[in-house]
Structure 1
Amino acid sequence: MSQFDRTADAGAEADTERADPPTPRTESRMLPAEVFSVLGNDTRVDILRALLELGADDDPVSFTDLFERVDIDDSANFSYHLRKLTGHFVKQGDDGYEFRSPGRKVVSAIFTGTLTERAQLGFFPASGNCYDCGGDLHGWYVDDTLTIGCTDCGAVQVSYPFPSGGLDDRSTEDLLAAFHHYVRHHYCLAADGVCPECTGSVETTLVRDPDDSALDVAVEHVCERCNYRLQSTLGVTLLDAAPVLVFFAERDVDLSTEPFWHFDWCVSDTRTDVVSEDPLRVELALPCAGDELRVRVDETGAVADTAVVEGLTQ
C-alpha cells in the first residue's frame, strides 16, 4: 500500500471503531545468546549452506543427501549438529529437512557478506549532478556503506548501508542501479509502516531542525519492535506515493528506475517549505517537464493534498 493510499483511508478509519490487534502466537523464543551459541559451529553453518545448495527452498532435503553434502564422516556427530538446528532454524518433516525463516536469513546474511566480508571500493563515476552546485558525482564504498558525493563541492547526495555481497559480479553501473532499488525499497517500506529489518510496525513523524543534519525538516521512521531507525528527506519517502508516480509517469519519467539522487527533492530539502508549524505541515514542489506537482504532507509524512501547476520552468 502506498503512502497516498494510507491517507485516503484515514477518514474511513476515523468513522469506525479500531479493532484490537490480534495477539501473536509464539511457538518458541530463542534468546540472543542461544542463537550465537547454536550458530557458533562450522558444521552447523555448513548444514545450512548445504540445504540452500540442495534446493531446500523448493523441496525438503533428505537426511542422506544432506549428510553426503556436508564434509563430516561421523553420522552420529552430524545428527547431533542437525538436531541443534532443528526447531528454530530448520524444520523436519516426513520428506526431509527445509528452512525455517531464521535459518534462511542466516544463509542470506552469509552469502550477502553481511556477516563475513569487509569490502572497499574506490572512487567511481556516478550518474547525475550535485543538487547544490551542479557538479559531477562519484561514488565510493567503505565500512559497509555506499556513498555518492560531488566531485566539486564535496556535498554528499546519499550515504546508506549496503551489503558487500551486492558488489559481487556487478559493474559500477549495475551496482548503482541495485543501490537505487535497495535504498528506495527500504524507505518506501518504512513509509508504508513496515520495518525493512524485522517487518515490525513503524511510526513515521516529521522532525523539525533534526540534530546532526543540514535539513530543516526530516522524516524519521522508528520501528516499534526492534527500534530500527531511518531518517531522510521527505522527498525520498514520496517515491511510492500514487500522485507522485502518476505525475512523473505522465511526463515519461519512471521513478522506479530513475536513480533517486537525480532529483534534488530526494536528497535535499531545497524544494521543501514549511507552511504551518502547529500543526506541522510541509509542502514540496516537484518539477518535471516544465510543470510542477505540489505535495502537502502532515506531521506523519502522509500526503494531505496535491496540486499540479502547468507551464512553469524548472
Structure 2
Amino acid sequence: MSNDSSSAVESNAESAFSLLADETRLAIVRALANATDTPLTFSELRERVGTIDSGRFNYHLGKLTGRFVEKTDDGYELRLAGQLVFGAILAGSYSRGDDVGPISLDPPCPMCDSAVEATYTDERITVQCTECGKPLVDIGIPPGVFEGYDTEELPAVADRYTRTLFSQARAGFCITCRGMFEGRLVRSGDDSHNDVIFDDVHAAYSCDRCNDELVTGVGMVYLDHPAVVSFYYDHDIDLSQPHLWGTAWRTMPDIETISDDPLRAEVTFEVDDDTLTLHIDEDLNVLDVARPSAE
C-alpha cells in the first residue's frame, strides 16, 4: 500500500471513530441495533434513546447518517458499518471475567506426549504443553466469543473460532479489518516467529491495511484442500472437525524446501504408509498433487 493510500485509510478511520466519540451517538447505534421493527421514525428512535432535547438529538443523528445510519422514506436503520460497530462492542463485552484456566486437554502434546493445558488471558487463548512448554495454539479471541458457555466448553469454542479465522485467512480476508490478507511461505529464522512449533518453513498471512498477521504451520493452510480432505477421509479421518491441538497437530505433514529462489516446498501428509504430497509456491498456491498409491 502506498503512503498516500495508507494516509487516506488512516484519515478515514479517524473520521469514523470521531463520529462515535459521543454517548448519544453510541446510544443511537445501540437503539437501532436492538430494534426488531426498523426502520424507526425520528420520534420513535429519539424516544428509545431517551434524549429530551430534539435539536441535540437531531444534530447527533445527522452526524451518523450516511456513514453508520441509513435514512429511508420510512425512517432510520443501521448501515452495515453500524452493525459491525455494534458487533465489535458486543464482542468486547464479557461478564465472566478475563482470565480462565488452566484447563486440561486431550490428547497429549504431539512433541513429547506430556499433558496439554489451555488458558485464556488478556484476550488470548494459549494451548501449551506443560512439560516442553511448546505452544500449540496462541491467538487473540474477543471475550464476547465465550459469552454463554460454561468454562469446560471454552477450549472447544476456541477451537471452532480459531478454525473460522484460518478459513477466513485462506480465503484472503484479514481476520481483523476484512481487508486483503496475503499469505506467503516464510523460512523459519527469517522473522520473529520462532516460539511456535514450525518446520524449516511456515506460513504467514499479513494485511497491509491494519498490519495484522496470522502465522501458522504450513499444514494448517491445506486442511480444507480437496485432495487433503479426501486423503484423510479415505483413512476414516474427518478433517471437517479437527481439534487444532489434536488431529491437526498429530497429522502434521513433513515440509521439505525444494527451491530457494523462487521459494518452493513439498508438503507431505502420511497415514498408514500412504502419502499425499503437495508442491507449493511462495504464495502458498498448490502447483501439483501427488499420491503414489492412487497412481
Under TM normalisation by the shorter chain, which class is it?
A: 0.7 to 0.9
Q: Is the Cα contact below 8 Å between 2:95 and 2:147 reproduced in 1?
A: no
Q: Tell me the alpha carbon deviations over residues 10-42 of structure 1, each in whole angstroms, 9 at most, x when there is no partner.
A: xxxxxxxxxxxxxxxxxx997333333221211
CA positional deviation for 1:250? 3.1
Q: 1:189, CA displacement in angstroms?
A: 2.5
Is 2:255 the counterpart of 1:272?
yes
Matched with 1:188 is 167
What corresponds to 2:23 in structure 1?
Answer: 42
Partner Cα distance (1:54, 1:127) in 2? 43
TM-score (norm 1): 0.79
2:201 matched to which residue of 1?
217
- 1:207 is aligned to 2:186: yes
Counterpart amino acid of 1:54? A
CA deviation digits over 1:82-116, x for unaligned, max 9? 11211111111011111112211110111011799
Correspondence for 2:269: 286
- Quote how far apart the aligned CAs of 1:160 are: 0.2
- Please report the RMSD computed on the Cα atoms of aligned residues, expressed in angstroms: 2.9
Say which is worse superposed, 158-167 or 290-299, in terms of deviation: 290-299
Shift in CA distance, 306/88, structure 1 to aligned 2, threshold 3 Å: same
In the TM superposition, what whole-angstrom CA distance separates every residue of 1:265-286 from its partner, at most 9, and x where no partner exists? 5897x72222332332222222
In the TM superposition, 1:141-180 aligns within 5 A as 141-180=120-159
Change (3 A) 1:66 1:242: same
Distance between the aligned counterparts of 1:155 and 1:113, measured in 2?
A: 28
CA distance in 2, matches of 1:281, 1:153: 31
- 1:32 and 2:13 equivalent? yes
Instruction: Indicate conservation of the 8 Å contact 2:96/2:147, yes or no.
Output: no
How far does residue 252 in structure 1 lie from its aligned partner after superposition?
3.2
Counterpart-to-counterpart distance in 2, 1:180 and 1:35: 33
Distance 1:277 1:181 in 2: 35
Q: Distance in 2 between matches of 1:51 and 1:91?
A: 11
Displacement of 1:118 in angstroms is 7.0
CA distance in 1 between partners of 2:275 and 2:41 (Å): 60
Query: How many matched pairs?
Result: 281
What amino acid is the match of 1:167? F
2:5 corresponds to: none
Structure 1 segments of 4 or more deviating over 4 A? 114-118, 264-268
- With 102-111 and 257-266 compared, the bigger mean Cα shift is at 257-266
Give the distance between the partners of 2:161 and 2:65, measured in 1 at CA: 32
The alpha-carbon deviation at position 296 of structure 1 amounts to 2.2
1:84 maps to 63
CA separation of 1:260 and 1:122: change in aligned 2, threshold 3 A: closer
Instruction: Structure 1 unaligned segments of length 5 or more: list them.
Output: 1-27
Most deviating of 83-92 and 175-184: 175-184
Structure 1, 179-188 or 94-103: larger mean CA deviation: 179-188
Quick one: distance in 1 between partners of 2:12 and 2:241?
41
2:287 corresponds to which residue?
Answer: 304
Q: Which runs of 5+ in 2 are unaligned?
A: 1-8
Counterpart-to-counterpart distance in 2, 1:127 and 1:93: 54
Offset from partner CA, 1:52-75 (integer Å, 9 cap, x none): 11137xx42232332222233333
Aligned to 2:245, the other structure's residue is in SS state: helix
| CA 173–122 in structure 1, closer or farther in 2 if over 3 Å, else same | closer
Q: Percent identity?
A: 35
Secondary structure (helix, strand or coil) at the match of 1:44 reads helix
Measure, in 2, the Cα distance between the counterparts of 1:173 and 1:100.
Answer: 37
What TM-score results when the alignment is normalised by the length of structure 2?
Answer: 0.83
> What CA distance in whole angstroms lies between the structure 1 residues aligned with 2:250 and 2:180?
24
Bigger mean CA offset, 189-198 vs 233-242: 189-198
Distance 1:154 1:51, change over 3 A: same
Could you say which structure has the greater relative contact order, defined with CA pairs below 8 angstroms and 6 or more residues apart?
Answer: 1
Alpha-carbon displacement from aligned partner over 1:243-271 (angstroms, at most 9, x marks no partner): 11222233333323221221465897x72
Partners in 1 of 2:170 and 2:60 — Cα distance? 41
Q: Deviations over 1:220-256 (max 9, x none)?
A: 2222444332222111111221211222233333323
Between the aligned partners of 1:213 and 1:231, the Cα distance in structure 2 is 8
Supply the distance in 2 between the matched residues of 1:39 and 1:116 (Cα, whole angstroms): 24
